[in-house]
Amino acid sequence: MGINTLVKTSGNADKVACADMPFCSEAKDGLVRQLPKFERFLEVAALTNAEEINYSNIASDVMMSRGSITEWYGILYDTMIGFSVPPYTKTKKRKAVETERFYYFDVGLVRFFSRSRRSC
């Protein structure tokens, strides 16, 4: 199919069988190494919820490349965890906004992700 997928085995939830992945263990190791940075990205995205997206600032906060941040926003869009509102450019009285805004679909997610590193 061309899409790399992880399929859980029915026997043990801890074991993960890889389908259509020639270098499965290397791919999983790469995903696990990125997990702390992805968690930080989710927190920063929650803290900047409903604001204009500045990929460069978020990339510097997460210590990743700008390209990775745009891919991660794509993951949030594809999984319907969040959505973007395109900029409104049809204005004559003031300068038009040029960047889109990101919104999590649920305020509970914003609260959860923004409090993820704080102690309760």
Per-residue pLDDT of the chain (120 residues), as tens digits, is: 333 344 333 444 444 444 444 445 455 555 557 888 999 999 999 999 999 999 999 999 999 999 999 999 999 999 999 999 988 777 777 776 778 899 999 999 999 998 865 554
How far is it, in rounded angstroms, from Cα 117 to Cα 94? 39
Which CATH number, 1.10.3210.10, 3.40.640.10, 1.10.10.10, 3.30.450.20, labels domain 5-114? 1.10.10.10
**What pTM does this model have?**
0.67
The two three-digit tokens of residue 101, written as one number: 């805004």
The two three-digit tokens of residue 114, written as one number: 């923004």
Q: Scanning the structure block, which residue is given the tokens 């790469």?
A: 30
